């Protein structure tokens, strides 16, 4: 732990509460039994809830969700401290050093860079960091073998949501020229993958169908990247749209004294189309 770290009163209180929750015998039984692995799904969930609050423009909710996300950081740091690995001050020091190192145009002698030059500089620094980290791992293990992290696509976290990771993988591959030159070719690839899904579906082989659907989703994600669209954001937007229109179906049926269970598929489709037209006509 960095002895020079001086947390604010609020952070100190949060760290104290987390330590109390994790104390055997006197702490919370649920908190005490947690591990890095068991907490991971909650960490991901909290990050998504932050995004949700932002997309809804709810700053009050955003404040609460950011607090929940901060709790996840504190939770992981506390478990690491218990194992003697690192503590919360070390986390703060690490990100502080990283920010300063990656912004020489702010904290160093490099000045007057354009946004594009800043991005290129950032990429160069990150690339060097990965080289240095791999060398350090090799030194500690007395081996140059770095396993799956040694390839060009290393550094793209496997824990990312699948759409986001697909976008990052293709973005990185594109930097060395492994990319379709134009969007028309990507669209052709999507049609090709869709045909392969149809063909796989006739086989009734679930593993093959899953593989082909994965290829289709990957191609669609690549198309989104070509248009500068975040596929995760696009799908979240569509999820919200689906929920909104489905709710319209429920409300329309309720006005008729009916439920979803009472309605036929044709009736629900009719109400869906009405909700869709209503939304489009109301759009500015």
Q: What is the mean pLDDT of each run of 10 residues along the chain (284 residues)?
A: 69 96 96 95 91 91 96 98 96 93 88 86 85 74 51 81 92 93 95 96 94 97 95 91 95 94 94 91 73
The model's pLDDT over 135-158, given as tens digits with 9 standing for 90+, comes to 777 766 654 444 445 688 877 888
Q: What single string gives the DSSP state of each residue in 104-170?
A: HHHHSS--S--HHHHHHHHHHHHHHHHHHHHHHHHHHHTSS--GGGGSTTTTS-TTS-HHHHHHHHH
Residue 159: per-residue pLDDT = 75
- Give the residue among 102, 94, 101, 104 at the shortest CA–CA distance from 122: 102
Q: Where in the chain do CATH 1.10.287.1080 domains reside? A: 1-100, 162-229
Q: What integer pLDDT is reported at residue 188 of this predicted model?
A: 97
Closest CA to 54 of 69, 40, 43, 65: 65
In the prediction, which pLDDT does 134 show? Answer: 75
The pair phi, psi for residue 227, each rounded to 5°, is -95, 5
Q: Residue 69 has what pLDDT?
A: 97
Q: What share of the chain is helix, strand, coil (3-state, %, to 5)?
A: 75, 0, 25
At 147 the pLDDT is: 47
- May I ask the CATH architecture of the domain 162-229? Orthogonal Bundle (1.10)
pLDDT of residue 110: 82
Q: Confirm or reject CATH 1.10.287.1080 for domain 1-100, answering yes or no.
A: yes
* Cβ atoms within 10 Å of 225's Cβ, excluding its own: 21
Return the pLDDT at 144: 43
pLDDT at 143: 46
């Amino acid at each position: 732990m960095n002895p020079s770290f001086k947390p604010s009163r609020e952070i100190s209180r949060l760290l104290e509460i987390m330590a109390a929750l994790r104390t055997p015998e006197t702490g919370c039984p649920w908190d005490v039994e947690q591990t890095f692995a068991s907490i991971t799904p909650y960490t991901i969930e909290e990050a998504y809830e932050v995004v949700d609050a932002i997309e809804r423009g709810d700053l009050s909710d955003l404040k609460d969700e950011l607090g929940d996300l901060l709790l996840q950081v504190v939770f992981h740091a506390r478990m690491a401290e218990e194992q003697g690995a690192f503590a919360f001050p070390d986390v703060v020091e690490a990100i502080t050093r990283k920010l300063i190192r990656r912004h020489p145009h702010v904290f160093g002698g490099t000045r007057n860079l354009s946004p594009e030059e800043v991005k290129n500089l950032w990429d160069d620094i990150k690339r060097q960091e990965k080289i240095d980290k791999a060398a350090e791992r090799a030194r500690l293990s007395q081996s140059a073998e770095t396993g799956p992290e040694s390839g060009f696509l290393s550094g793209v976290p496997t824990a990312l949501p699948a759409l986001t990771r697909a976008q990052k993988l293709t973005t990185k591959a594109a930097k060395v020229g492994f990319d379709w030159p134009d969007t028309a070719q990507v669209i052709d690839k999507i049609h090709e993958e869709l045909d392969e899904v149809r063909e796989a579906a006739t086989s009734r082989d679930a593993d093959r169908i899953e593989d082909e659907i994965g290829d289709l989703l990957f191609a669609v994600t690549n198309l989104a990247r070509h248009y500068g669209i975040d596929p995760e954001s696009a799908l979240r937007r569509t999820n919200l749209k689906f929920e909104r229109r489905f709710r319209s179906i429920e409300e329309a049926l309720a006005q008729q004294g009916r439920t979803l269970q009472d309605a036929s598929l044709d009736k629900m489709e009719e109400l869906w189309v009405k909700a869709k037209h209503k939304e489009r006509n109301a759009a500015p």
